[in-house]
Amino acid sequence: MSKPLLRIDALESGYGASPALRGVSLTVESGSAVAVLGANGAGKTSLLKAISGALPCWHGTVRLAGRDIHGLAPHRVARHGVAHVPEGRELFPLLSVEDNLLSGAYARADRPGLKRDLDGIYQRFPILSDLRRRAALHLSGGEQQMVAIGRALIARPRLLMLDEPSLGLSPALVADIFALLKELNRRQGLTLLVVEQHTQMALDLAHKAYLMDAGRMVSEGDAKRFAETREVRDRYLGSGRQAIQGSTRWRRKRGWI
């Protein structure tokens, strides 16, 4: 691993006067996949929002490749190479699939490269090519998640952050999404920071894991060893075991099994 792509030290943030992050520190190495685990309300979503500029940072530092992005507006954070797939997708409901995808490329000027990348998204998600003129409002949850991920990828990010990418999806589609994330990380070197309720799937994807509780980081370590700790095994494992066994045909097609 090279020097950290993302480094957070003693970060504090919240909503109004209510703290959500209490002295959070985290490191994401370039080319790695990092999972952030924890119960609902632990501060995981708030952490991603603070990194992306959607939540104000009260104290601490957020550095991307050594550059301080603490306190920058979301569009400026995105220009530095951070793409955020938020919980709930947050698509433009009345815009078409293609317009939603292209909204992720607002900062790009390389039109030939943009066309190639858009075609690449349609190759990854063939159903989106068929639905390219359909309004996002009329898509299924799985189709919306494909659009949200495609919108992030078309920005050519250095860091891709995903907040509960499995939320509301079938076990087979969850397995498909995680197989794609593994390909992006292992084969293309895209750095990932993933908040996920399916703990086993997140740990299978990740190199390193963090555990949050009440706005604080309470544990960190190698993702594979993390799964063996009693606290993680007893409190968080199990929800993703069935899903991780699904969609073997999709993974065989790509030569992963």
Per-residue pLDDT tens over the stretch 28-71: 999 999 999 998 899 999 999 999 999 999 999 999 999 999 98
What is the predicted pLDDT for the residue at 2?
A: 60
Cα 108 from chain centre: 21
Of 248, 242, 88, 238, nearest in space to 171 by CA: 242
Single pTM value for the model: 0.87
Query: Please, what is the Cα angle at 99 between 84 and 179, to 5 degrees?
Result: 45
234 and 163 in a single domain? The answer is yes
Query: Please, what is the Cα angle at 182 between 179 and 186, to 5 degrees?
Result: 145
What is the predicted pLDDT for the residue at 237?
A: 61
191-195 vs 57-64, strand pairing mode? unpaired
What is the predicted pLDDT for the residue at 236?
A: 66
What is the predicted pLDDT for the residue at 241?
A: 43
Cβ neighbors of 244 (< 8 A, separation 6 or more) are 175, 178, 198, 200, 201, 204
Residue where a domain stops, chosen among 156, 190, 210: 156
72 and 112 in a single domain? The answer is no
Q: How many Å apart are CA 52 and CA 59, to the nearest integer?
A: 15
Number of domains in the chain: 2
162 and 222 in a single domain? The answer is yes
**Length in residues, the chain:** 257
97 and 222 in a single domain? The answer is no
73 and 128 in a single domain? The answer is no
Residue type, 56: P
13 and 124 in a single domain? The answer is no
Query: CA dist 240 to 136, 148, 162, 199, 218, Å?
Result: 28, 22, 17, 6, 22
152 and 198 in a single domain? The answer is no
9 and 95 in a single domain? The answer is no
Residue 209, domain CATH: 3.40.50.300
Domain that holds residue 97: 89-156
Residue where a domain stops, chosen among 156, 175, 201: 156
168 and 248 in a single domain? The answer is yes
What is the predicted pLDDT for the residue at 42?
A: 92
Cα 175 from chain centre: 15
167 and 46 in a single domain? The answer is yes
- Segment (H or E) for 96: none
- Low-confidence spans in the chain with pLDDT less than 70: 1-2, 230-231, 233-257
Residue where a domain stops, chosen among 156, 183, 207: 156
130 and 190 in a single domain? The answer is no
77 and 13 in a single domain? The answer is yes
Residue type, 218: V
What is the predicted pLDDT for the residue at 97?
A: 97
What is the predicted pLDDT for the residue at 214?
A: 93
- What would the two tokens of residue 104 be? 């992720």
